[in-house]
């Protein structure tokens, strides 16, 4: 079975190569040599399959990404005991930051070996070899895209060091992006389309995924280098505030207009391919029955009740529906949804049964949710007045309102969306607005497709700044806890302003300073790499 191959290969490959020489020296699996591991097509396919296993592990989506970058924005909050360190901006106090650094370089090192060994292997068809090589380039591009967004200038390692010094100086932000673009462009050429008979298993990178990720790369560079202002709804009063954006460090000299045009064009290629479409309803994206649907461009795969399950339901769902109250949607985000918006109407838990009583949320909608099943009356309790998302819940709509429903949230088969078609549409809308002098019919069409699906009203007649602001707001509502919000605020140069306008939320510290724009480089890397040149600002 493919999953068994996945398990065995991951155990071997997760220890071959790393971001610094320390791990190379300590590897307990050093007796496995790439020379005897990469001999057949099956070896190569197993190697590339194993790389995807790293994504759902303890370097990324088991916890580190969810508790660092995706817990560090204005739309998420939780108990102080969970948000007292990384959730309050003290990234150096969270082990997961170093784990992500190591995981990203681990992927890169394994890709380097694949790119070295696979060309010499005989395959049944060139199309299969191209796919394996394309997936490798894609995953290395994805890894360095995350490294440069989280840590800024970083060492770029395209060849694994087996003897001698592994010291490596940082490359500039611009040079890292050049490598990201080179890798993803090569991936785009080699990878098959989603519906090709040569496409990999569900969760594998495709040509559409490479194009979509390239669009995101260009958009990140373009917005980082742009000037202007952005209007954001937030603060403790949930009012609209206009912030003048800061030029993002490292993006100086980049041609913002040209990059926005590249982002627009690459997103258009995904749209024109016809390989993807929006699900008819927002909740039709989520749940076991909707895995790998037409909207999903790239999502990592999971297996229920195994080490290849995730804790997404455990961290995010209502405590009654398999969750544990680690984090929940901030009130300012919930209040930004129109009442008929499906993302709030059906995408949030409104009734649950705890401690022998029915409860409902929110208080303002008591007329909608106070009538509980069985003729009971639900009450509003301040202690449980939190909006919990249904995105990562594995139950079904028929279970809502059942007092017997109680699901173990740990290690479940809940896939995580890394790229979906709604993202491409909103990237297109944003890029088209910025590449020109304001929104045209094409930009409105892309934006309104996403809004209409969630039953929001269409919009028109906006100037460039207002359209920019609306797209950013729409991204916040559409991609809650999909690892986008922090990156969106940082690339637009308004992260510290938005967070400081919030200040403190439910006793969680949201104030941020310049040091919070980048994560600290792990001390182990600084100790091992003599050319790293010290840590990021403030760390």
DSSP helix/strand/coil, 467 = helix
The pLDDT of 135-147, averaged and rounded, is 99
pLDDT above 80: residue 305: no
Predicted pLDDT of residue 23: 30
Token pair recorded at residue 517: 């724009």
Q: Are 71 and 86 in contact (CB under 8 A)?
A: yes
Chain Cα centroid distance, residue 372: 36
pLDDT of 87 > 70? The answer is yes
To which H or E segment does residue 424 belong? helix 421-435
d(CA 296, CA 281): 14
- Residue 372 resides in a domain: yes
Reported as a single tens digit per residue, the pLDDT across 149-163 is 999 999 999 999 887
User: What is the pLDDT confidence band of residue 21, given thresholds at 50, 70 and 90?
Assistant: very low
Q: What are phi and psi of 75, to 5 degrees?
A: -105, 10
Is the pLDDT at 343 greater than 50, yes or no?
yes
Q: Is residue 363 part of a domain?
A: yes
Among 99, 118, 5, 115, CA closest to 60: 99
Q: Number of helices and strands (H, E) in the chain? A: 21, 10
Q: At what angle do helices 207-225 and 173-190 cross, to 10 degrees?
A: 160
Could you tell me the pTM of the whole model? Answer: 0.92
Residues 490-500 have a mean pLDDT of 98
Say if residue 14's pLDDT is above 70: no
User: Which residue segment(s) compose the domain that 408 sits in?
Assistant: 312-414
For residue 87 the two structure tokens come to 């959730």
**Residue 319 in tokens:** 């405590």
In this prediction, residue 169 has a pLDDT band, given cuts at 50, 70 and 90, of very high
Whole-number Cα distances in Å, 8 to 3, 43, 336: 9, 11, 46
Which residue would you say has higher pLDDT here, 401 or 183? 183
Task: Let me know if residue 368 belongs to a domain.
Answer: yes
Confidence of residue 10 (pLDDT cuts 50, 70, 90): very low
pLDDT higher than threshold 80 for residue 209: yes
- Residue pLDDT, tens place only, 244-302: 999 999 999 999 999 999 999 999 999 999 999 999 999 999 998 999 999 999 999 98
52, part of any domain: no
The burial of 41, by beta-carbon neighbours within 10 Å (0-12 exposed, 13-18 middle, 19 or more buried), is given as middle
Cβ pair 413, 304 in contact under 8 A: yes
* pLDDT band at residue 8 using 50, 70 and 90 as cut-offs: very low
In a domain, 318, yes or no: yes
Examine residue 396 and state whether it is found in any structural domain, yes or no. Answer: yes
67 domain-assigned = no
224-249, pLDDT tens digit by residue? 999 999 999 988 888 999 999 999 99
The total of structural domains in the chain comes to: 1
- For residue 402, is pLDDT > 60? no
Strand partners, 353: 358
pLDDT at 156: 98
Using H for helix, E for strand and C for coil, what is the string for 337-406?
Answer: CCCCCHHHHCCECCEEEECCEEEECCHHHHHHHCECHHHCECECCHHHCCCCECCCCCCCHHHCCCCCCC
In a domain, 115, yes or no: no
């Amino acid at each position: 079975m493919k999953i068994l191959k996945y398990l065995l290969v991951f155990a071997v490959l997760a220890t071959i190569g790393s971001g610094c020489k320390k791990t190379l020296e300590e590897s307990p699996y050093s007796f496995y040599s790439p020379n005897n591991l990469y001999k057949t097509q099956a070896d190569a396919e197993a190697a590339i399959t194993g790389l995807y296993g790293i994504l759902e592990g303890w370097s990324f989506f088991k916890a580190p990404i969810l508790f660092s970058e995706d817990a560090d924005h204005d739309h998420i909050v939780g108990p102080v005991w969970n948000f007292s360190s990384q959730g309050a901006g003290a990234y150096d106090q969270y082990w997961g930051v170093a784990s992500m650094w190591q995981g990203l370089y681990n992927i890169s090192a394994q890709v380097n070996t694949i790119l070295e060994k696979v060309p010499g292997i005989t395959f049944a068809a060139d199309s299969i070899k191209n796919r394996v090589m394309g997936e490798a380039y894609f995953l290395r591009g994805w890894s360095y895209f995350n490294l440069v967004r989280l840590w800024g200038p970083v060492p770029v390692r395209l060849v694994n060091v087996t003897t001698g010094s592994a010291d490596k100086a940082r490359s500039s932000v611009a040079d890292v992006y050049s490598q990201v673009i080179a890798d993803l462009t090569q991936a785009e050429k080699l990878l098959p389309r989603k519906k090709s008979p040569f496409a990999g298993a569900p969760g594998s990178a495709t040509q559409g995924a490479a194009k979509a990720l390239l669009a995101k790369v260009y958009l990140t560079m373009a917005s980082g280098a742009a000037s202007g202002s952005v209007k954001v709804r937030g603060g403790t009063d949930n009012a609209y505030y206009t912030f003048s954006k800061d030029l993002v460090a490292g993006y100086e000299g980049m041609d913002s207009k040209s990059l926005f045009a590249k982002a627009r064009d690459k997103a258009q290629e995904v749209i024109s391919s016809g390989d993807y479409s929006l699900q008819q309803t927002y909740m039709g994206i989520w749940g076991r029955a909707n895995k790998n649907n037409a909207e999903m461009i790239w999502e990592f795969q999971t297996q229920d009740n195994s080490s290849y399950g995730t804790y997404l339901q455990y961290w995010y769902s209502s405590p009654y529906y398999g969750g544990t109250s680690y984090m929940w949607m901030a009130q300012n985000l919930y209040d930004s949804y129109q009442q008929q918006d499906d993302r709030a109407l059906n995408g949030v838990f409104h009734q649950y049964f705890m401690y022998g009583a029915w409860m409902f949320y929110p208080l303002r909608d008591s007329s909608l949710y106070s009538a509980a099943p069985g003729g009971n009356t639900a009450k509003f309790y301040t202690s449980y007045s939190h909006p919990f998302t249904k995105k990562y819940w594995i139950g079904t709509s028929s279970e809502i309102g059942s007092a017997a429903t109680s699901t173990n949230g740990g290690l479940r088969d809940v896939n995580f969306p890394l790229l979906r078609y709604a993202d491409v549409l909103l990237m297109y809308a944003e890029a088209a607005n910025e590449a020109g002098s304001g929104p045209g019919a094409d930009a409105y069409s892309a934006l309104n497709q996403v809004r209409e699906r969630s039953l929001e009203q269409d919009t028109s007649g906006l100037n460039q700044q207002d359209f920019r602001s609306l797209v950013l707001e729409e991204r916040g509502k559409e991609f809650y806890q999909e690892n986008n919000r922090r990156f969106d605020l940082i690339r637009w140069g308004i992260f510290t302003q938005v967070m400081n306008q919030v200040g403190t939320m439910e006793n969680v510290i949201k104030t941020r300073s310049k040091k919070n724009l980048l994560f600290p480089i792990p001390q182990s890397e600084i100790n091992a790499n003599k050319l790293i040149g010290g840590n990021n600002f403030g760390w």
